[in-house]
Amino acid sequence: MSKNESNQKPTNFIHQIIEDDIQNNVHGGDVVMRFPPEPNGYLHIGHAKAICLNFGTAEKYKGICHLRFDDTNPEKESQEYIDSIISDINWLGYQWTGEIRYTSSYFDQLYSWAKHLISEGHAYVCDLSAETAREYRGGFNQPGTDSPFRNRSVEENLSLFERMKNGEFKEGACSLRAKIDMNAANMNLRDPMLYRILHTSHHQTGDKWCIYPNYDFAHGQSDSIEGVTHSLCTLEFEDHRPLYDWFIENLPVPSKPKQYEFSRLELNYTITSKRKLKQLVDDQVVTGWNDPRLPTISGLRRRGYTAASLRHFCDMIGVTRSNGIVDMGMLEAAIRDDLDSTVPRAMCVTRPLKVTLTNMEAGVEEWFELPAHPKDESMGTRRVGLTRNLLIEQEDFVEVKPPAKNKHEKWKRLALGDAVRLRGAYVITCNEVIKDATGEIIELLCTYDPATKGSNPEGYKPNGVIHWVSEELSLPCEVRLYDRLFTEANPDGDKERNFMDCLNPDSLVVLPDARVEVGLKDAPAETRYQFERTGYFCIDKDSNADKLVINRTVTLRDSWAKAKN
RNA sequence: AGGGGUAUAGCCAAGCGGUAAGGCAACGGGUUUUGAUCCCGUCAUGCGUAGGUUCAAAUCCUGCUACCCCUACCA
């Protein structure tokens, strides 16, 4: 689809609004977006949705998009998070316009606007404690009560606010509040807090400030300073929109941005709550923010997901205002779709079973030149070596074939007395099974048919095709099999049970004795492959000169596994 | 004295008064030296529910119901 065609029709309700605005010359026809993360954790798949929406919308309508760190709470934020967020956005393939913005760099302007509000009689310094203020606020069914400090004079408020800024009060001693309506049905309008005292140094502004604006007082005005036209956020901020607008109307701001809300992304069998993700990291349930089991951008990246697949996934799920839980299968479909056409094939035996080719001389090597991709010749070829001693997958052999009632249940692998094709090489027949004292199969004695290189055998038919490696001409590797982190589809949603109680004990299975074809030698971290018949894999950064470490991104679709169930 | 939202297939989602797109999943079939990919086909007389308006309603109106969000000096 050409860029022009993709612009033919709006893809979601936000785009409809923007197209109407452009049509009607609202905001002078400009489209200025922004992605405003708080640097208090790593970005996850839900943020990817917001990133694609904001940056993608700017691209689509030839507008611009800022990156702004919404850093008004120094107690929970850090430079580490800032760095990770920058890296994740770049990796996803987006570039913000101009410098990185920080809400904290608007603190002077915000402070002066707070004084403006006070001067207009729209804000006051309140000495109520947080707890008392909560009581005064009332409830959903009770009106609030005016603070006893609500009618302080402008002069007194100005003086008190300056003293707050100068550090004359302890944390919690007082706060600046907007004077709106303690009877408002919308709780956000019951004289919301604007500034609190926090004797905490800030990762960007150091010790310059001991009062910090909160989200509501900072966000819309920051949007306005940057000339943001369409300020997108998630549904839970919908009730804040009247407040957002109230500040824009009551302050001499340079532009009038509009807030629009869309629904958060929820994915089943995982969590997308920064607080809970942080708990998994802090409690060492996972190895870090980039653990491949986490739905963080860095975790998905380490798992083997591509940026393109994440962007495609975001296109697939759309943008609406209805709450839903997207099936993890959609994410998997997105990565399979990408990797199938872009990634070279290789063979890896994850749980090896020894096979001896009795009619092949020891010490002889035969090399096969196999295509890197079955449909894309431009990807070239790879060399795979065959010797007398082979390794095949344990689950690719049975002594006696299981009965098959239909073609889906047919055994298409090796069996005693049967033949099977070694992928890209010869057809072999299993003549004898060797077991140890416990009865476990430890070796297969087979013969290969020299006439079957590149052509079908005469007089008999192999069951199917299996993958293999030579024992000598292969590399040792550790394969890490990942599965869903939780056993429940909605670990977050059950109020009775804690999400920590439904962790999947098999979310990581380590296979230490896998072998992979020699072509993977020295492959750098993040190199991706399809291991034929097995799945998509990715070299992990834990690899070293002696041993590759390989993460399974996702299995291949497996109709055999389905037929068995 | 409550306020704000959302309901279209198992999941996501188009639709904007003219007779239910698409994707994921599932299920059949074809191709295949990957049980993959690819290709073909099936999958809502129905749009939370009950009424109403209309020649015509998922779309407009009214009443119900279910679910989500809101009473942080977090964002």
Q: Which of residues 340-359 of A touch strand B (CB under 7 A)?
A: 340-341, 345
Flag whether A93 is marked binding. no
Q: What's the pLDDT at A5?
A: 37
Domains and their CATH numbers in chain A:
13-264 (3.40.50.620), 267-345+477-564 (2.40.240.10), 350-467 (2.40.240.10)
Give the pLDDT confidence score for residue A378 in this predicted structure. 97
Determine the straight-line distance between the first and last CA of chain A, rounded to whole angstroms.
40
What does the pLDDT look like over A75-94, one tens digit per residue? Answer: 999 999 999 999 999 999 99
Q: pLDDT tens for residues A212-225?
A: 999 999 999 999 99
Per-residue buried b or exposed e for A537-565, using 16+ beta carbons within 10 Å of the residue's own CB: bbbbeebeeeebbbbbbbeeeeeeeeeee
Ligand-binding annotation for A416, yes or no, is no
How many helices (H) does chain A have, and how many strands (E)? 14, 27
> Are A467 and A531 spatial neighbours (Cβ–Cβ below 8 Å)?
yes
- The answer to whether the beta carbon of residue A254 comes closer than 7 angstroms to any atom of strand B is no
At A325-358, the pLDDT tens digits run 999 999 999 999 999 999 999 999 999 999 999 9
Q: What is the mean pLDDT of residues A32-43?
A: 98
Write down the pLDDT at residue A8. 56
pLDDT digits (tens, 9 = 90+) for A365-392: 999 999 999 999 999 999 999 999 999 9
Average pLDDT over residues A115-135: 98
Q: A47: Cβ under 7 Å from strand B? A: no
- Mention every residue, 6+ apart, whose C-beta is less than 8 A from residue A5: none
Estimate in Å the CA A322 to C1' B46 gap, whole number. 21
A7 has pLDDT over 50: no
Give the model's pLDDT for residue A2: 32
Q: In whole angstroms, what is the distance from residue A220 CA to residue A242 CA?
A: 11
Helix then strand then coil, % of chain A, to nearest 5: 30, 25, 40
A371 touches strand B (CB under 7 A): no
A423 touches strand B (CB under 7 A): yes
Q: Percent of chain A, pLDDT > 70?
A: 98
Strand B proximal to A364 Cβ, under 7 A: no
Angstrom distance (rounded) from CA A395 to CA A414: 9
Is A264 known to sit in a ligand binding site? Answer: yes
**Catalytic site residues of A?**
38, 264, 274
The Cα A528–Cα A181 span in angstroms is 58
Q: What is the mean pLDDT of chain A?
A: 96
Interval A139-165 mean pLDDT? 97
Longest dimension (CA), chain A: 103
pLDDT, position A12: 97
- The closest of A520, A521, A300 to A529, measured between CA atoms, is A520
Annotated ligand binding at A56? The verdict is no
- Compute the distance between CA of residue A223 and CA of residue A231 in angstroms, rounded to an integer: 7
- Within residues 269-308 of protein chain A, the ones with CB less than 7 A from nucleic strand B are none
List phi, psi (to 5°) of A89. -65, -45
Element (H, E) at A53: helix A45-60
| Predicted pLDDT of residue A495 | 67
A137 CB contact with strand B at below 7 Å: yes
CA–CA separation, A147 and A294 (whole Å): 45
The bases of strand B with some atom under 7 A from any protein CB are: 1-8, 10-16, 22-29, 33-38, 67-75
A513 is in an annotated binding site: no
Q: pTM of the full predicted structure?
A: 0.96
Taking the CA of residue A143 and the C1' sugar atom of nucleotide B62, their distance in angstroms comes to 31
Is the C-beta of residue A199 closer than 7 Å to nucleic acid chain B?
no
B72 C1' to A207 CA distance, Å:
24
Residue A3 pLDDT more than 60? no
Question: Shortest CA–C1' contact from A558: which nucleotide?
Answer: B35
Report the alpha-carbon distance of residue A276 to residue A299 in Å, rounded.
Answer: 15
Give the count of beta carbons closer than 10 Å to the beta carbon of residue A351.
Answer: 14
